[in-house]
Chains A and B, each alone.
Chain A
Amino acid sequence: MIGSEAVDRSELLELYRRHYNAPLARHFELGGCSVETSAAGSFVVDELGREYLDVATAHGIFGIGHCNPAIQDQILAQLEAVAGPTGDLQHDAGISLTSRLAALLPADLNRVLYAGSGSEAIEIALRTALLARPGRTRLIAARNAYHGKTLGALGVMGMTHLRVPFEPLWSDVSRVTYGDVDEIAAAIGDGAAAVLLEPVLAGGTIQVPPAGYLERVRDLCDRTGTLLIVDEVQTGLGRTGKMFGIEHAGVVPDMVVLSKILTGGCVPIAVTVVAEAVAREADRQAAGADYRSESACWPLVAAAADAAVAYVETNRLDDRARRLGAYLGDCLGTLTEMFPRFVVDTPGVGLMRGIRVRNRVVETALWLQLRRRDVIVGLSLNSAAATPVLRIYPPLTVSRAELDQLMEALYDSLVSLERMRPRAIYALAAPAMALQFWLPARLLTAAANRADTAPNAAVER
Chain B
Amino acid sequence: MPAPKPNRGPVAVSAQGATIRLSDASSLLDFASGGFGHGAAPVAAAVARQMAVNPLATRHFLSLPLGQLTARLAARCPGDLEVSYLCSSQSEAVDGALKLVRGLCPDRHKIVVVRGSNHGSTLGALSVCGRESMRAPLPPLLFEPIIAADANATIGLVDRDTAAVIVEAWPGGHGLPGRDPGWLRALSGRCSESGSLLIADETRSGVGISGAMFGIEHESVVPDLLVLGGGLGGGVLPLAGYVTRRDLNDRVYGRRDPTLHASTTGGNPAACVAGIATLEMVEREGLLERAATRGSQLLSALRELADRQPDSIKEVIGVGLFAQVRLAGPDAGGVAAAARSLGLACEVEAELPGVLLRPPLLVTEEEIERGVEILGDAIGLAVPSGAAR
Contacts and interface: CB of A to CB of B under 8 A. Distances in A.
Interface of A: 1-3, 5, 7, 9, 12-13, 15-16, 18-24, 26-28, 33-39, 44, 46, 54, 56-59, 61-62, 66-67, 72, 75-76, 79-92, 95, 98-100, 102-103, 105-108, 110, 115-120, 123-124, 127, 130-131, 137, 148-152, 154-155, 161-162, 165-166, 169, 171, 259-260, 263, 265-268, 276, 285-295, 298-301, 371, 376, 379, 381, 383, 437-438
A410 B312 CA distance: 76
Interface string B244-287: 00100010111111111111111110110100100000000000
Interface stretch (B5-13, B187-195, B218-226): B5-13
A72 B47 CA distance: 12
Given A23-B254, A83-B237, A151 B123 contact: yes
Given A44-B61, A58-B59, A151-B123, 11 more contacts: A19-B70, A20-B66, A22-B255, A23-B258, A61-B264, A95-B8, A103-B1, A105-B1, A287-B137, A295-B238, A376-B58
A56 B122 contact: no
B83 interface: yes
Contact of A82 (B36, B38, B64, B265): B38
Closest 10 CB pairs of A and B: A152-B123, A130-B139, A116-B89, A84-B235, A15-B67, A116-B88, A268-B265, A19-B70, A24-B258, A36-B61
A154 B7 CA distance: 36
Given A15-B67, A19-B67, A117-B265, A293 B15 contact: no
A2 B103 contact: no
B136 interface: yes
B89 A89 contact: no
Contacts of B47: 79, 83
B235 A289 contact: no
B73 interface: yes
14 contacts: A1-B68, A23-B258, A84-B36, A86-B15, A87-B28, A88-B345, A89-B20, A90-B12, A119-B263, A137-B139, A137-B140, A151-B99, A165-B102, A268-B266
A127 B138 contact: yes
Contacts of B301: none
A1 B69 CA distance: 10
A221 to B, nearest CB: 18
Q: Which of B32, B74, B95, B233 has the most CB of A within 10 A?
A: B95
B38 A151 contact: no
B202 interface: no
A19 B82 contact: yes
A378 to B, nearest CB: 8
Contacts of A38: 53-54
Contacts of B236: 79, 83-84, 300
